[in-house]
Structure 1
């Protein structure tokens, strides 16, 4: 079986017509388990979790409209999972937990896009990479991976090594492996699955998330996986899945996790 649990409607509309363009593409690509996980920062209900000028310009959804869209889809027999991608925000565990428990999500993705005030994956902030100490940014990023896992709030961690997106990667392999090791160890003690995401192939780094060495550590420590495309437009659903499946099998994985209302079931890959 195949999953694609990380997808966004934000470039279109919260309408059944637009949603069906995604689910139709998933069906065309033989994806058995498909979900939408809109960015939580778009919703007014998350204003107490993450707030900065960049985010506030993009907060335009209400959760009642989001949940109503899924209810309408389910009433018409459309098989789509309801999720959210939440920016893991240090110091906001109580607020994140309260938001997550307020809705009947099939699963919840936690991702790290901010290191303090630095939007690491945003083109608007790309100039900051040359101003900051690379090892410091990586250390702080993986500090958040560890505490995200320790929070046990999330079913999936999104694009685990997103920090490499613009190809700013430490040359010190020992340092990098230390970060990988502590991330994998923390994840192994949590309920959090890792996604193999093909989105990196559409970014400047032109690589899958996560790095093969990091994924192998996750496999060795028993961390489950899902497959995701992080599609922001319908045609990217299930993109480059041959590479994602190949990486999963190369690192030893034979199963992926599926979700339904928080319940998880491992199934064979492919």
Structure 2
């Protein structure tokens, strides 16, 4: 079985014809469980959760239109899961919980894209990496992974080590492994699954998320996984899943987690 739970329509439209381009690719790539998880910051309903000039310039959707798209898909017997990718925002737990509980999501992805006012994965902020202390940024990033897990608001954490995207990685292996260890310990005590994301292969880092050492810790602590492509274009659905499956099996995984309206079920990885 294969999942692809992390996909975005933001480069197109919230219309059935565009969604079907993703669905057709999922069928071609033999994806058994497929979902759309648009960025929450695009929606007017999340302004009280995350607001800054970069985000506010990209807030142009209404959740009603999003939900209506899925209702239309389901009416036409299209098996697509409805999700959202939320920027985990410290200090906004109540607001995030209210938003999540307001919609009948099949699952919810929580991701970390911001360390304070620093958009860690954004090209516009890339020069900031040379101005900031690398260990401090990594520590603050993994602090958020921990509190994201402790919030227990999310079914999946997206691209858990996104912080490596531009190849800024601490040389101190002991420091890095410590961050991995404390993050996975928190995740193991939550409901949150980890995704193996092939998106990193299409980014400057050129590697899967997560690092194999981090994924091994996830396995050793019994943290479930899903497969995701983080596709922003139909052709990237299920991209490079052979590499993701190989990594999962090498560290010991034999199953994936699936979701439907908050319920979860393990299925064989294949």
Structure 1 unaligned residues grouped into runs of 5+: none
Specify the alignment match of 1:158 in structure 2.
158
Distance 2:247 2:104 in 1: 32
Local SS of the residue matching 1:246: helix
Specify the alignment match of 1:138 in structure 2.
138
Specify the alignment match of 1:244 in structure 2.
244
Q: Size of the alignment, in residue pairs?
A: 270
Local SS of the residue matching 1:10: coil
TM-score, normalised with respect to structure 1: 1.00
| Aligned 1:28-177 pairs, distance under 5 A | 28-177=28-177
Specify the alignment match of 2:20 in structure 1.
20
TM-score, normalised with respect to structure 2: 1.00
Alpha-carbon displacement from aligned partner over 1:85-130 (angstroms, at most 9, x marks no partner): 0000000000000000000000000000000000000000000000
Alpha-carbon displacement from aligned partner over 1:9-43 (angstroms, at most 9, x marks no partner): 00000000000000110011100000000000000
Local SS of the residue matching 1:128: helix
User: Cα distance, 1:72 vs. partner?
Assistant: 0.2
User: Cα distance, 1:210 vs. partner?
Assistant: 0.3
Distance 2:65 2:30 in 1: 29
| Aligned 1:183-222 pairs, distance under 5 A | 183-222=183-222
User: Cα distance, 1:251 vs. partner?
Assistant: 0.6
Distance 1:18 1:62 in 2: 17
Local SS of the residue matching 1:99: helix
Where has structure 1 moved over 6 Å in runs of 4 or more? none
Local SS of the residue matching 1:89: coil
Distance 2:29 2:84 in 1: 23
Distance 1:250 1:135 in 2: 29
User: Cα distance, 1:169 vs. partner?
Assistant: 0.2
Alpha-carbon displacement from aligned partner over 1:169-201 (angstroms, at most 9, x marks no partner): 000000000000001100000000000000000
